Amino acid sequence: MSKTFTLDGKTIPFKDGQTIIQAALDAGYYIPHLCHHPEFKPHGSCKLCTVVVSGHQTASCTLQPAEGMVVESETEQLNAERRALTQMLFVEGNHFCPSCEKSGDCQLQATAYHLGMMTTHYDHFFPNRPLDASHDDYLLDLNRCILCSLCVRASRDVDGKNVFALAGRGAQTHLIVNARSGRLADTDFSATDKAAHVCPVGVILPKKRGFAVPIGERTFDKQPIDAYVDSRLARKES
């Protein structure tokens, strides 16, 4: 018999070694997140997956559940905090959703819709961020980077290349590539790399395929992100 914990009143089975978010997603239950990836070690940087356990807030991507544990996720307070964090991500970068190639497939955009975010609320930073079109196959648009480090972890832990890294501290933190010139073309980055396919926003984009799928027919245009998680589980079980 599998072990279980309770998440927002629902019984969630889990296996030894799983985190709360891993077990929840495997059960088709959505917890908002941006830096979590099932193939990588927990990182806990975005804080959107924060839940309440025994009256205390904790990242669900780092905490392992215990038998009988009671977890809260979909509360008004947590979603208000998630919404504020999402708003900050929007104003700290330059996100032009209507003209973005990732619109409709963007996890940040879909999360904002899920949280009912109607405005960015805060003043925009309008940072001066470069666009690197030097690579033959990929465009690097740093305007949309949310510092989730998924590309960093993918390149380091899966590809074994260390193409990407985060540099700077605090508000000055930014994504860089492993080349003296600072150009993606001068790295050993390849279209077959795991790092080429994990960006949740529109930073690492394949060239020569722009708008091949029209806006309105993309993943989160068809269904909200929480329904997508549920339908993905259904496809997996069929």
CATH number at residue 204: 3.30.70.20
Residues 37 and 141 in one domain: no
Residues 104 and 167 in one domain: yes
Dihedral pair phi/psi, residue 175, rounded to 5°: -85, 135
Of 125, 31, 49, 42, the C-alpha closest to 87 is 125
What CATH number should be reported for the domain holding residue 33?
3.10.20.740
Residues 54 and 113 in one domain: no
Residues 60 and 142 in one domain: no
Give the number of domains in the chain: 2
How much is the pLDDT for 144? 96
Question: pLDDT digit string (tens) for 180-199?
Answer: 999 999 999 999 999 999 99
Tokens describing residue 18: 């799983």
231 found inside a domain: no
Dihedral pair phi/psi, residue 59, rounded to 5°: -75, 125
Residues 43 and 138 in one domain: no
How far is it, in rounded angstroms, from Cα 154 to Cα 101? 22
Residues 60 and 129 in one domain: no
How much is the pLDDT for 238? 45
Over 90: is that where the pLDDT of 232 sits? Answer: no
111 found inside a domain: yes
Question: pLDDT digit string (tens) for 164-181?
Answer: 999 999 889 999 999 999
Residues 67 and 149 in one domain: no
21 found inside a domain: yes
How much is the pLDDT for 231? 63
How much is the pLDDT for 210? 87
Residues 195 and 142 in one domain: yes
Residues 48 and 121 in one domain: no
Of 7, 222, 225, the C-alpha closest to 115 is 225
Question: pLDDT digit string (tens) for 17-67?
Answer: 999 999 999 999 999 999 999 999 888 889 999 999 999 999 999 999 999
Instruction: Please say which residue of 74, 106, 126 terminates a domain.
Output: 74
Q: Torsion over CA of 76, 74, 62 and 172, rounded to 10 degrees?
A: -50
How far, CA to CA in Å, does 37 sit from each of 4, 21, 96, 150? Answer: 22, 10, 25, 8
How far, CA to CA in Å, does 28 sit from each of 13, 34, 181, 221, 229? Answer: 11, 17, 44, 19, 6
Question: pLDDT digit string (tens) for 99-136?
Answer: 899 999 999 999 999 999 999 999 999 999 999 999 99
Residues 106 and 52 in one domain: no
Domain, as residue range, for 193:
98-210+218-222
198 found inside a domain: yes
229 found inside a domain: no
How far, CA to CA in Å, does 173 sit from each of 40, 138, 142, 184? Answer: 22, 23, 12, 18
Over 80: is that where the pLDDT of 236 sits? Answer: no
How many CA atoms lie within 13 Å of 74's alpha carbon, on the beta-carbon side? 13
Over 50: is that where the pLDDT of 14 sits? Answer: yes
Instruction: Please say which residue of 42, 74, 106 terminates a domain.
Output: 74
Identify the H or E element spanning 53. Answer: strand 50-53
Average pLDDT over all residues of the chain: 94
Q: The whole model's pTM is what?
A: 0.93
234 found inside a domain: no
Pairing mode, strands 3-7 and 10-14: antiparallel
Residues 70 and 102 in one domain: no
Residues 113 and 56 in one domain: no
